[in-house]
Structure 1
Amino acid sequence: MALTLIFSLFLAACSGGKDEAKDPKPEGNDGTKTEKPAEPQVLNLTEVAELPSLDVSKAEDAASFQVLNNVMEGLYRLDKTDKPVPGVAESHEVSEDGKVYTFKIRKDAKWSNGDPVTAKDFVYSYHRTLNKDSAGSYQYIMGDIKNVNKIINPEDPMYGKVEELGVVAKDDHTLEITLENAVPYFVGLTSFATFYPQNQKFVESQGDKYALEANTLVYNGPFVLSEWKHEESWKMVKNDQYWDKDSVKLDEINVNVVKDVGTDLNLYNTNQNDLVGLSSEYVDQYKDNADFKTETEATMWYLKMNQKNPVFKNVNVRKAFSQAIDKESMVKVILNNGSVAANYLVPANFTNIDGEDFRAKYKDGFHAFDAAKAKSDWEAGLKELKKDKVEVEFLVGDTESSIKLATYIAAQLEKSLPGLKVTLNPQPFKNRLDLENKGQYDFELAGWGPDYQDSMTFLDMFVTDGGHNRMEYSNKKYDDLIKSAKTDLSDLKKRWENLQEAERILLEEDAAIAPLYQRGRALLVKPYVKDVFKHGFGADYSYKWAYIEGKQ
């Protein structure tokens, strides 16, 4: 089973001349055809939360993106090495200036209801996502496309004018996308859920019910969602309309919502579940088990401090929070799963330039654990606030592991910062996202996995009024550095330095968030599960090429 995280920097061809990418391997991502094994092709999995949204215009979380990656397909998708390989598009060409991409839509691409997938489905989907009435927070990820940032800016004369978007269906099988600037990651970005097509006729026929149930969504990926029992389970089955169905060996994927690790482990040990993530108390017990695996991820966890609360408007308070937690003990004792204590936002071993990792300049990050310094900054903050006591609410998930981690963090904060009282507010995943998006929290335990392989995927979240800012952080110098890194790729080394400086401002000067750890995972995986591909960015797993073999 391919569960190792791959850290390979991919570049779309945008350095000049025409570059055409054709699919030389129609039978799969590695060019080999494996006969379907005789045993039942059924994969059984669990998730800790309900799916918040399967509307590609509104989805914003890892759980939703995971399902969408397997029931839908964009122009390209990621293979086992995180290289973008043709999906709905069979090939593409790039203009000499690297700004105009022409994608050829394959003629055998179909929706699960039999309708053809056309270039117009992409135009409609992008327009719908960027509509000024859209509730989605992921509009910004399309910002590389011409006019997007104007279309989504309420202060711009072009606001809401989606017809000005740089995306045109030249005919049913030719999609032209014009970018504001040449970027090194655009082809890979088309594999992300926000860039998937939508069937206009079907969407409009469903009205307000669209994407709320398994039968109010139409699919174009390797699988279709056949059942969705909210808060309980969902089922994916093989899509017989999928253009590359011969590469899909699994007939069925069953996913049950299980919040308790002990229950999940019991399901695994009784062969009702094929994969289980282990919390700290089970790692030592199972680390010598033949099924035991570990994986390092480019996913970061941190405290998100809402400056809407006057307490967190104070920079000394934020610096105190950043330095008050013993992260080394946290990852070794509370997590115990291979996670690494982190004082940074952009992960280690995620991106590099000329062989140098992004972390090289500020390897140790900023505001490491220092109880004495945390107390000093806290006292300075309280003095400025004219307070001697502070009570704040801590928004966290409602799973067993989330509450355990949050309890440790709260205890550390109260221990290091005299006069602080922290009250936990555990919420189901969907509720937590809603409270965050509305800015109705004091501080939050938040995580972020990369959407594409560039440091920008972590850093552009925190620009003023950004879709994932939602904590009223604003710094003009930070905004300018991010804007420069987005628009000027003439000097990649300078761009790199601008992004490093932006991270320093965010974490050292402003302490806008308090990094905690870079996530690792300890898990048990049944040996008969083959070729589930773990991705370093975007959705976590692809099941297109997975199969079951050797199950007793």
Structure 2
Amino acid sequence: MSSKRQKGAAWMAVTLTMGLALAGCGQGGNTTGTQSAATGPVEGGSIVLDTDSNFKDFDPALAYFTTDTEVVPQVYEQLVTYQGASTNIVGDLAQSWDVSKDGKTYTFHLRKGVKFTNGDALTAQSFIDEFERVLGKTGVNSPGEGFIDPVVVGATAYHNLKNKTGQHISGVTAPDPYTLRIQLNQPQAYFLDVMAMPFFSAVDQKYINKVGNAAFDSTSMMGTGPFMASQINANGVVLKKNTGYWNKDKNGNALPYLDQVKIRINKNDQVDALNFEQGQTALLGWVINGIPSASIPTFRSNPKLKKMMQTFPENANYYLGMNVKTGPFRNHKLRLAMEYAINKTKLAQLSAGKDVPANQDIPPAIPGYVKNLPADVSYSYNPTKAKQLLAAAGYKPGQLTVTLTSQNSGLAPTWDQAIQYDLQQVGINCKINMLNNNTFYTEGMSGSLTLFIAGWYQDFPDPYDFLMLLASNQAPSNNMTWYSNPQVDAWLQQLNTSTNTKQRMTLSKEITVQFLKDAPWVPLCFSNAVYAIQPWVHGYYFSPALGDPLQHIWIDKGHSQTG
């Protein structure tokens, strides 16, 4: 089990807004619009999208922030990807692949003839270069490092080299220009899901050397994807069609259909909603965390707008974390009292119905979700029982005062007040400490918070991605509660290396049940994304783990936007 997993966009704590749509997207969802069998998709045209967040990194080795990981997959491609709105892995730049019997060697056969937008040819070296960049070549400090180190043979040794000049990763080789071989130290059931992450995109190292790492990360994106960035500035990004893109739709038509996508940065999400209502933007939700909660009642009450709404599970959770290492929450009975004290239904209602109450850490659309929890860990809102457990923990009403820390953005302050009220009703005094996102992120990673609201958005659709937060070797950077249980650690190790689906599902349930018994968290809500899509927009679908795919979108004639 790696102890190097880093957090970034996956941490909903970074920009906690209650109902947030982060790096990827939840499983499932219908494709919007109905393609005419007679006419098919319409090529050409432009759309405009709004986002209320700034961009941070465009270098695929660095991009792990919400808005970044929506744009990067439009420009860069990986070995494999997800098939439409499913969790099925299919080839992307890899046309096919083989896996050894012991599950430790993957051999990818690349598509021939694929070119970067500057005309350079894609080869296996394009992936080797990116693996080396993720592991620290040329000073890149990638959050993707923990996904392949120490899993890939030679990754740790390469990462630890002070001088990487002339050195390479022993477990990542190219037998020929169109074959990439990756050797693992141990089998990993979700390795292909990891390879679908933007960190492991094909890059043109010759181009990066020419423009420099700083420009490659900010103003000079360049990949093999369906779009190319023609403009990047403080106001947003303009993506132009890559006319040399290799991929086609099922009918042989060239992708993407659109000529241009303009993404504007607008910090006022209410203005974003108004722009959509006036027909100025194609989608409301892409990159801006879904329809703003304050606007949802308006959309639901307006028959025209209501028809444009779609809801997708985001494969994300919110939870109330309790520090089990220091402070009052070392007391197990007190933690159990907290499980019964919080009215999760009310919290979900405060998000205008975007969220649903949670009873565990794994969201329902992720394999390993336990449909029928044992009765002793099926916690429900029960103030009377919470009071009884508080007394059993040794506290009289009003004797205990705790500090709840969260962020000063979105609906977090509203949730703070609701939780504060619930705790006061059972005899626990609660002070609220609101921090800006960066400060919260820093203090949370240090493990210094006593009681806090945080969350996790999937990196990939596998139970290990959620359950690894419970590993003792992930404290405090990912495991901010300092939770530690040797049995859970052992199960997690098995879950990480097993390739037997039945065994992995059994392990997931055992870990979940034990975690709920130990109660370092109060699971609060699972997050949904509520989007609005113009009726003249077709072909949009919600990806299970990647940024929203734009290459399949087409629009009716007469609806082209310039912004």
**TM-score normalized by the length of structure 2:** 0.78
Q: Aligned partners of 1:312, 1:138: CA distance in 2, in Å?
A: 33
Q: Secondary structure at the match of 2:371?
A: helix
CA gap 1:56/1:393 in 2 versus in 1, 3 angstroms: farther
Q: Aligned partners of 2:321, 2:537: CA distance in 1, in Å?
A: 37
CA offsets, 1:346-371, max 9 Å, x none?
1224326xxxx643455996543332
Q: Aligned partners of 1:120, 1:153: CA distance in 2, in Å?
A: 18
Pairing of 1:370-449 with structure 2 (within 5 A): 370-378=382-390, 388-396=399-407, 398-399=409-410, 401-427=411-437, 433=441, 436-437=444-445, 439=447, 441-449=449-457
Q: Secondary structure at the match of 1:500?
A: helix
Q: Secondary structure at the match of 2:121?
A: coil
Quote the residue 2:28 is aligned against: 6
1:268 deviates by 0.9
Q: Aligned partners of 1:518, 1:502: CA distance in 2, in Å?
A: 19
Q: Aligned partners of 2:511, 2:159: CA distance in 1, in Å?
A: 22
Task: Work out whether 1:299 is the aligned partner of 2:316.
Answer: yes
Which residue of 161, 172, 191 corresponds with 1:186?
191
More divergent stretch after superposition (306-315 vs 496-505): 306-315
Q: Secondary structure at the match of 1:496?
A: helix
What letter is aligned with 1:446? A
Q: Is the 8 A contact 1:305 1:443 kept in 2?
A: yes
Q: Aligned partners of 1:61, 1:308: CA distance in 2, in Å?
A: 30
Quote the residue 1:98 is aligned against: 103
Q: Aligned partners of 2:427, 2:174: CA distance in 1, in Å?
A: 58
CA gap 1:225/1:363 in 2 versus in 1, 3 angstroms: farther
Q: Aligned partners of 1:237, 1:502: CA distance in 2, in Å?
A: 46
Q: Aligned partners of 1:435, 1:271: CA distance in 2, in Å?
A: 42
Q: Is the 8 A contact 1:130 1:162 kept in 2?
A: no
Q: Is the 8 A contact 2:135 2:159 kept in 1?
A: no
Quote the residue 2:554 is aligned against: 547
What letter is aligned with 1:390? T
Task: Work out whether 1:71 is the aligned partner of 2:75.
Answer: yes
Which residue of 156, 174, 179 corresponds with 1:174?
179
1:286 deviates by 2.4
Task: Work out whether 1:369 is the aligned partner of 2:381.
Answer: yes
Quote the residue 2:247 is aligned against: 244
What letter is aligned with 2:247? D
CA gap 1:87/1:394 in 2 versus in 1, 3 angstroms: same
What letter is aligned with 1:238? K
Q: Aligned partners of 1:126, 1:249: CA distance in 2, in Å?
A: 31
More divergent stretch after superposition (92-101 vs 365-374): 365-374
1:326 deviates by 0.5
CA gap 1:445/1:267 in 2 versus in 1, 3 angstroms: farther
1:431 deviates by 6.2
CA gap 1:345/1:123 in 2 versus in 1, 3 angstroms: same
CA offsets, 1:195-216, max 9 Å, x none?
223333344455561544122x
Quote the residue 1:139 is aligned against: 145
Which residue of 463, 472, 491 corresponds with 2:482?
472
1:551 deviates by 5.1
CA offsets, 1:429-482, max 9 Å, x none?
x66545544556554433323233321121123323336334533332222111
Q: Secondary structure at the match of 2:115?
A: coil
Quote the residue 1:328 is aligned against: 345
1:381 deviates by 6.0
CA gap 1:433/1:64 in 2 versus in 1, 3 angstroms: farther
Task: Work out whether 1:520 is the aligned partner of 2:528.
Answer: yes
More divergent stretch after superposition (72-81 vs 107-116): 107-116
Quote the residue 1:270 is aligned against: 278
Q: Aligned partners of 2:116, 2:439: CA distance in 1, in Å?
A: 32
CA offsets, 1:37-90, max 9 Å, x none?
26x522222333223333333333443322222221100122314233322112
Q: Secondary structure at the match of 2:488?
A: helix
Matched positions, count: 508
Q: Secondary structure at the match of 2:225?
A: coil
Quote the residue 1:45 is aligned against: 49
Q: CA RMSD in A?
A: 3.8
Q: Is the 8 A contact 2:158 2:168 kept in 1?
A: no
What letter is aligned with 2:517? E
What letter is aligned with 1:297? E
What letter is aligned with 1:530? H
CA gap 1:420/1:116 in 2 versus in 1, 3 angstroms: same
Pairing of 1:124-273 with structure 2 (within 5 A): 124-131=129-136, 135-142=141-148, 145-147=151-153, 163=168, 165-207=170-212, 209-215=214-220, 217-230=221-234, 232-244=235-247, 246-273=254-281
Q: Is the 8 A contact 1:41 1:250 kept in 2?
A: yes
Identify which of structures 1 and 2 has the higher relative contact order when contacts are C-alpha pairs closer than 8 Å and 6+ apart: 2
Pairing of 1:486-525 with structure 2 (within 5 A): 486-489=496-499, 491-509=500-518, 511-525=519-533
CA offsets, 1:259-299, max 9 Å, x none?
54422221111222222233445434322332122223322
Q: Secondary structure at the match of 1:465?
A: helix
1:316 deviates by 4.6
Task: Work out whether 1:482 is the aligned partner of 2:492.
Answer: yes
Q: Aligned partners of 1:363, 1:252: CA distance in 2, in Å?
A: 54
Q: Aligned partners of 1:285, 1:208: CA distance in 2, in Å?
A: 45
What letter is aligned with 1:549? D
Quote the residue 1:108 is aligned against: 113
CA offsets, 1:297-331, max 9 Å, x none?
32222234456763555545544444332011221
1:532 deviates by 1.7
Quote the residue 2:5 is aligned against: none
Q: Secondary structure at the match of 1:394?
A: strand
More divergent stretch after superposition (432-441 vs 76-85): 432-441
Q: Is the 8 A contact 2:102 2:187 kept in 1?
A: yes
Q: Name structure 1 gaps, 5 residues minimum.
A: 9-29, 155-160
CA gap 1:93/1:418 in 2 versus in 1, 3 angstroms: closer
Q: Is the 8 A contact 1:139 1:152 kept in 2?
A: no
More divergent stretch after superposition (143-152 vs 58-67): 143-152
What letter is aligned with 1:445? I
Quote the residue 1:24 is aligned against: none
Which residue of 442, 450, 453 corresponds with 2:458?
450
Q: Aligned partners of 1:174, 1:227: CA distance in 2, in Å?
A: 34
Q: Secondary structure at the match of 2:496?
A: helix
Q: Aligned partners of 2:419, 2:154: CA distance in 1, in Å?
A: 39
Fraction of identical pairs, as percent:
22
Q: Aligned partners of 1:172, 1:178: CA distance in 2, in Å?
A: 17
Q: Aligned partners of 1:431, 1:52: CA distance in 2, in Å?
A: 17
Q: Secondary structure at the match of 1:542?
A: coil
Quote the residue 2:9 is aligned against: none
Q: Secondary structure at the match of 1:228?
A: strand
**TM-score normalized by the length of structure 1:** 0.79
What letter is aligned with 2:318? W
